Amino acid sequence: MPVDVDAEVLFSTRLSDDYAVIGFRAPAIAGAIRPGQFVMIRTARGDVPLLRRPYSVFDRLRDADGRPVGFSIFNKRVGTGSRLLSEATPGATFSCLGPLGRPFTLPRAGSEAWMVAGGTGLAPFATLSEELAAEGARRRLFYGARTGAELFCVDRFEPIGVDMVLATEDGTRGETGRVTVPLARELAARSGAPPVALYACGPEAMLQAVAALAARYGLTCEVATERRMGCGMGGCYSCVIAVRTPAGGTRFARSCLEGPVFSAADIVWDDVDR
């Protein structure tokens, strides 16, 4: 059950001009967060920007005793709202509504978990990695960006035992090309056991490519989508994505309620009219 918290900014760690990790104090949200869920953040008090902005939870923040006190987001500045967030300084407060949405499903025992992140699509994999650690499964994170300078927080994952495979389109760090290139190679190279569960978050073209690979190898695959959202609560029907119906047709599912995490096999990727 989501709650609305007037959350204080605890820290804002600038990663580059455009990227920052911003921490919020919000105990009532933090305790309930499941990996893959998101929060709706009001980036201004007045009428502009009017709507809240959806953000995946990046880290769950804990106090010295390990109690959840808040969460952070991994913010990329793209427009007005994300700029206001990126300029926020500790002490400022933002209304945060959450946690919202359907979280990732954990893989069957014994499965490896391969996560695929593009850009800010890294966000949901911090909490997922931790949750998966408890399962003892091998975790790999395929993480791609345009350029090496935009591969952030790699050291967030290595210490907790996640195998990292990096890729950049310009080849400045890791492998050259899209992150799906090493993913495809590794999938082809694997022997078949243990089974692999795929998780992906990033641009839709990437999600679509990962979904295709999952289908090719018959793997379970969940994708965290990022459709434009008005309310995050199921009220406005703006955030829809086309999914298959049991009868073989398609319908528009609200990604804030039925997602943002979907089974990749359910999604029809060509629903957008452009």
Ligand X SMILES: Cc1cc2nc3c(=O)[nH]c(=O)nc-3n(C[C@H](O)[C@H](O)[C@H](O)COP(=O)(O)OP(=O)(O)OC[C@H]3O[C@@H](n4cnc5c(N)ncnc54)[C@H](O)[C@@H]3O)c2cc1C
Residues that bind another protein (CB under 8 A): 1-2, 4, 42, 46-52, 95, 97, 227-228, 230-231, 233-242, 251-252, 257, 271-274
Name the residue with the smallest CB distance to ligand X. Answer: 79
- Nearest Cα neighbor of 259 from 126, 117, 122, 104 is 104
Work out how close the CB of 44 gets to a second copy at its nearest, in angstroms, rounded to a whole number. Answer: 8
By CB under 6 A, what part of segment 82-101 binds ligand X? Answer: 82
- DSSP code, position 71: E
Decide: is 55 part of the binding site for ligand X (CB under 6 A).
yes
By CB under 6 A, what part of segment 215-254 binds ligand FES? Answer: 229-232, 234-239, 254
Nearer Cβ to another protein (85/213): 85
**Distance (Å, whole) CA 20 – CA 86:** 6
Decide: is 74 part of the binding site for ligand X (CB under 6 A).
yes
Q: Using omega within 30 degrees of 0 as the cis cutoff, is the peptide bond preceding 49 cis?
A: yes
Show Cβ contacts of residue 233 under 8 Å, excluding neighbours closer than 6 positions: 2, 97, 100, 256, 257
**Distance (Å, whole) CA 43 – CA 22:** 13
Nearer Cβ to a second copy (88/209): 88
Decide: is 105 part of the binding site for ligand FES (CB under 6 A).
no
Distance of CA 98 to the CA centre of its chain: 15
Longest Cα pair distance anywhere in the chain, in angstroms?
A: 56
Residues that bind ligand FES (CB under 6 A): 229-232, 234-239, 254, 256
